[in-house]
């Protein structure tokens, strides 16, 4: 995500906040599209980025014409490849997790990424977080324990899906760290989205083919679902959030982080009839509280 900047005008901040919530809602729809996709989970991840790539490159080209400063990506190739590889792992594991466990659990566990980012910064660069981070980490782990407990009663595959959700968080943390490095070196948001999505598509295609899962949807509506995932969740959702965080204080990033899993669970309940049991609601609330505290403690 781009570094946040304070809004210039109240009107701009109001529009940016609306863009933030709209983007989070678009992304919250992505597990719904994945669950109903007629292609396999890794194939769906491939189409998610591949169908969005032309739109992202067009947007990046338009943004380049609208600014006097451009940043060459030639010197950023290693970090771009690292970001693409991390995002490929993120999508492949998360899409599989969505197929195996509840959407609420999968989305909540994937959002543990911010905790893994702080742990990585602490371990690699020695930047010790504040004590509130440890309270947040403990709360998040307690919430995860409750979510896993509900999965044991959900299905035989749910525990595997939960584990893949945690793996997703690790890959997404890697992606966020790579993106931060690229942003610090001057890469623009749209450059990042276009290049990393292209790299991710190139990586995911042979992986999807090797799995032997269905690559193509069987019906026209199946293609519509993939287009919705690519254009609504990936291109529009990520683009709106990237725009919003460039015009809002950094604290608003937590709004996006906490809003997405809540909306995803709501969509799963309303659209797919996937109810939330009380223990799962409690676990989810504790996880979100833990993530919020951990993010505050990492600053």
What pLDDT is stored for residue 3 in this prediction? 36
Going from N- to C-terminal start, the domains of the chain cover 10-65+73-297
Task: Give the model confidence (pLDDT) of 247-257 as tens digits.
Answer: 766 556 655 66
**Cβ-contact 229, 48 below 8 angstroms:** yes
**Cβ-contact 66, 265 below 8 angstroms:** no
Task: Give the model confidence (pLDDT) of 203-214 as tens digits.
Answer: 999 999 999 999
Residue 168 Rama label (left phi>0; alpha psi -120 to 50; beta):
alpha
What pLDDT is stored for residue 2 in this prediction? 36
Stated pTM of the model: 0.85
Q: Low-confidence residues of the chain, pLDDT below 70?
A: 1-13, 63-75, 245-246, 248-257, 297-299
């Amino acid at each position: 995500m781009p570094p946040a900047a304070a809004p210039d005008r109240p009107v701009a901040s109001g529009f940016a906040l609306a863009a933030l919530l709209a983007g989070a809602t678009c992304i919250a729809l992505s597990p719904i599209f994945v669950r109903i996709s007629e292609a396999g989970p890794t194939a769906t991840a491939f189409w998610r980025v591949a169908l969005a790539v032309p739109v992202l490159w067009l947007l990046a080209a338009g943004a380049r014409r609208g600014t006097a400063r451009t940043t060459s990506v030639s010197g950023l190739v290693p970090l771009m490849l690292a970001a693409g590889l991390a995002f490929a792992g993120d999508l492949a594991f998360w899409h599989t997790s969505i197929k195996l466990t509840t959407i609420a659990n999968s989305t909540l566990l994937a959002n543990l990424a911010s905790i893994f980012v702080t742990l990585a910064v602490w371990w690699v660069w020695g930047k010790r977080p504040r004590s509130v981070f440890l309270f947040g980490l403990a709360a998040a782990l307690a919430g995860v324990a409750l979510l896993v407990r509900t999965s044991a009663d959900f299905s035989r595959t749910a525990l595997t899906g939960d584990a893949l959700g945690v793996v997703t968080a690790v890959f997404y943390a890697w992606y966020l760290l790579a993106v931060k490095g690229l942003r610090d070196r001057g890469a623009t948001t749209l450059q990042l989205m276009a290049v990393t999505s292209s790299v991710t598509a190139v990586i995911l295609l042979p992986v999807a083919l090797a799995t032997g899962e269905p690559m193509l949807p069987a019906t026209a509506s199946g293609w519509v679902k993939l287009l919705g995932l690519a254009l609504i969740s990936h291109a529009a959702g990520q683009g709106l959030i990237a725009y919003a965080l460039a015009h809002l204080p950094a604290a608003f990033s937590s709004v996006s982080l906490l809003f997405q899993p809540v909306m995803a669970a709501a969509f799963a309940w309303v659209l797919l009839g996937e109810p939330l049991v009380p223990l799962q609601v409690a676990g989810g609330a504790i996880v979100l509280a833990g993530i919020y505290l951990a993010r505050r403690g990492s600053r």
